[in-house]
Amino acid sequence: MTYCVGLCLKDGLVFLSDTRTNAGVDQIGTFRKMSIFQNANDRFFAIMSSGNLAITQSVKEILLQGQLFKGKNLWTAKNSYEAATVVGDAIKQVYERDHLALEQSGFEFNCNMIFGGQVKGEKPRLFNIYSAGNFIEATPENCYFQIGESKYGKPILDRVLNFTTPLNLATKCALISMDSTLKSNISVGLPLDMLVYEKNSLKATKLVTLDSANPYFAMIHQLWGEKLREAFNSIAEPSWSGAHKSSDISIPAKKMGAVIINHPPSKAQMAKLRTTCKASKPVKKVASKKAVAKKKA
């Protein structure tokens, strides 16, 4: 599996990806899921991928070769939107080549990408590109995309992140999101590729590959669990007696009654159940014999 998260914020972009791949539990690998395209004169792009590795590597190769789609590649696209269509076209090309054979082998054409960057004169932009090569763009209201094993790491993003979050805080947030995913799912693993793109820089100024010995990630890994437990302990326990009004858990919902408590059937009912059960047994056996006879015939 994979976990990648991309953030599109007021001050720039943040990309974070893990490097674990697996085909079954007995075939675990380490493959990089982030690629960077940089022309410091006029453009900067990064792409992260999840899904079938054979597909995503082919897409990456087509982009690296600079193959032209309608005369455009990542180096000549007029803007980030056009660059996203180039990525989409590369996916469509691999689809044309492989999808029939994949279907015949019982595999889905599975390929998801987070693609973003900046072309000089434009603001930084971020896209979530799907298996069909179509895509959506991040907005100030929906400023992050996740691909792969996304659910474990979503709550922290939903709680602390918004479009105006400074890049350094957003970096911390992305790493905590990744740490929660690593903690709860072994199909996501270290090392991590972390890229912080500062608006208008048109280059990868903050780029690092982190393993468990990285001082900052080690600190996050240790401290976040502790801080969570502290936060947990600081919240009052429920009061079932209603003695503490602010933590009274005993007030029932208004529109829905309580769960019904079912009690055992009476002796007469149980006797009837036993009779029904006994009576129905021979009937079943006969039916079963008939069915066997039919089968033999």
* Min dist. Cβ of residue 134 to a second copy (A): 20
* Min dist. Cβ of residue 62 to a second copy (A): 12
Largest CA distance in the chain: 88
* Min dist. Cβ of residue 101 to a second copy (A): 18
Burial class (CB in 10 A: 0-12, 13-18, 19+), 15: buried
* Min dist. Cβ of residue 162 to a second copy (A): 11
Q: Cα(44)–Cα(117) distance, rounded to whole angstroms?
A: 5
Q: Which residue has the tokens 């792409």?
A: 47
Nearer to a second copy, 140 or 238 (CB): 238
Q: Are the C-beta atoms of residues 54 and 65 closer than 8 Å to each other?
A: no
Name the residue type at position 122: E
Nearer to a second copy, 17 or 112 (CB): 17
Q: Cα(202)–Cα(157) distance, rounded to whole angstroms?
A: 26
Burial class (CB in 10 A: 0-12, 13-18, 19+), 183: middle
